[in-house]
Amino acid sequence: MKAKAAMIMETPVHPISKEGTQPPAASIVGISKRFGKTSVLENISFDVAEGEALVLLGASGSGKTTILRIIAGLEQPYTGKVILQGKDVTELPARERGVGVIFQAYALFPKMTVERNIGYGLKIRKRRRKEIKEKVKELLSLVQLEEHRKKYPSQLSGGQQQRVAIARTLAYDPEVLLFDEPFGALDAQTRVHLRREIRALLKKVNVPAIFITHDQEEALELGDRIAVINVGHIEQIGTPADVYNKPATEYVATFLGAANIMDGVVRGGQVEVGSARIPLPAGAHEFSEGAIVKLIFRPEDVLLGKTQELPAGLGCLSAGIIEETSFVGAYERLRIRLERSGNSGDLGDTPFYLTTETPESQSAKPIIATRPKPETLSTSLRIGDRVFLGLTSFTILPKESRTKKGLAE
């Protein structure tokens, strides 16, 4: 067992790659997990490429921590495989996997100095003292903690502790780094600073990393790709821009940033939302005539005008009355109650739009829009003003079957 572990440590064996396609550094294949009768993960699969940072984003209780623990070997999956550098490690105990875990509270050994914490992995592997010393020195300078090397973890700040935790895992050249809510214990300012630092550090050492977080801002900034996890399954996986701009599900749209959601009906290749007709974007789902769909758009995608004439190419969605304006620093946020009038003739008495998800069912729920500062300066809008709304960007999704959602909850 020991020899095997040592082998994967020193020379990661890459399976022969076909025509230069690099194999993924880590693959998770069809993982599911149950605790007793409760299913917490369902068929989770994803790859992490060499040097890539993947963020598992989800609310607490979504199962993201369990995924991390399964990769680390601290938890056994019910079905599925964990493959690191082409090697199936599903059956291996945590200590033979060679993964680096940065625990939520860092889990530094309190009775060891910074130096000894970092050297622990090599000491366990019975490396020569001289070799350990050199490696520790190298890592101390990498994470810029040379002057703190004799200190104990309790004498360090949160950020410093985190750097020790990272250096401690880098010492034994891990196959993959796993970060469990790495910034949860830090204040907002340190958080922003540290995640940039870690991002730079990861690019430097070129080790693939999996982060788990519930913070969407963190996910967007840290990840090369983001996997949005909801009650045990992956809703969507893609680059931050993809996931943000083209949410695959309503959950993704609302969890990652704010989103307005309206119901519409597909008629003649267009989506009718109240009196407005919105062309189905190219490459959208195939919808049958009369299908009920969801129109999803972000507050910053709403263009407001005082007249019905909106910039070229933008159809007018509706008119509405401003109910509330609030200043949120970088931009202005407006709550607009859409008018229910303006039914198109052929829809008869259909209300402006249907919201079946809220108690305000069948009544118009307000739309949230944001405007950048320059715009607020040039045209000021007040409560009670009537405005016309256009959309610069939007997503059309099929209306989710309620049974699926019901099951999940």
Q: Which of 35, 109, 279, 327 binds another protein (CB under 8 A)?
A: 109
Q: Which of 24, 121, 182, 274 binds another protein (CB under 8 A)?
A: 121
3-state secondary structure 103-172: CCCCCCCCCCCHHHHHHHHHHHCCCCHHHHHHHHHHHHHHCCCHHHCCCCHHHCCHHHHHHHHHHHHHCC
Q: Which of 29, 49, 59, 74 binds another protein (CB under 8 A)?
A: 74
Residue 150 CA to chain centroid, in angstroms? Answer: 37
Site for another protein contains 161 (CB under 8 A): no
CA–CA separation, 116 vs 133, rounded Å? 10
| Residue placing its CB nearer to another protein in the complex, 163 or 294 | 163
| One character per residue 165-194, x = contact with another protein (rule: CB under 8 A) | ---xx--x----------------------
Find the shortest distance in angstroms from Cβ 173 to another protein.
11
- Joined tokens for residue 403: 């049974």
The Cβ of residue 244 has, within 10 Å, a number of other Cβ atoms equal to 18
Q: Which of 29, 94, 185, 321 binds another protein (CB under 8 A)?
A: 94
Q: Which of 24, 77, 100, 390 binds another protein (CB under 8 A)?
A: 100
- Joined tokens for residue 41: 């993960």
Torsion of CA 373, 375, 379, 381, to 10 degrees: -60
CA–CA separation, 147 vs 213, rounded Å? 31
Site for another protein contains 105 (CB under 8 A): yes
| C-alpha distances out from residue 321 to 9, 61, 68, 243, 370, Å | 64, 39, 47, 31, 15
| Residue placing its CB nearer to another protein in the complex, 168 or 191 | 168
CA–CA separation, 140 vs 163, rounded Å? 9
Q: Which of 49, 59, 107, 321 binds another protein (CB under 8 A)?
A: 107
Site for another protein contains 125 (CB under 8 A): yes
Site for another protein contains 7 (CB under 8 A): no
| Residue placing its CB nearer to another protein in the complex, 210 or 271 | 210
| Residue placing its CB nearer to another protein in the complex, 108 or 198 | 108
Which element (helix H / strand E) includes 47? Answer: strand 38-48
Segment near another protein (CB under 8 A); pick from 58-66, 119-127, 259-267, 306-314: 119-127
Torsion of CA 32, 35, 38, 41, to 10 degrees: -20
Site for another protein contains 112 (CB under 8 A): yes
| Residue placing its CB nearer to another protein in the complex, 181 or 224 | 181
Site for another protein contains 120 (CB under 8 A): yes
Task: Please report, as ranges, the residues that interact with another protein according to CB under 8 A.
Answer: 5, 72-74, 93-101, 103-105, 107-112, 120-121, 123-125, 168-169, 172
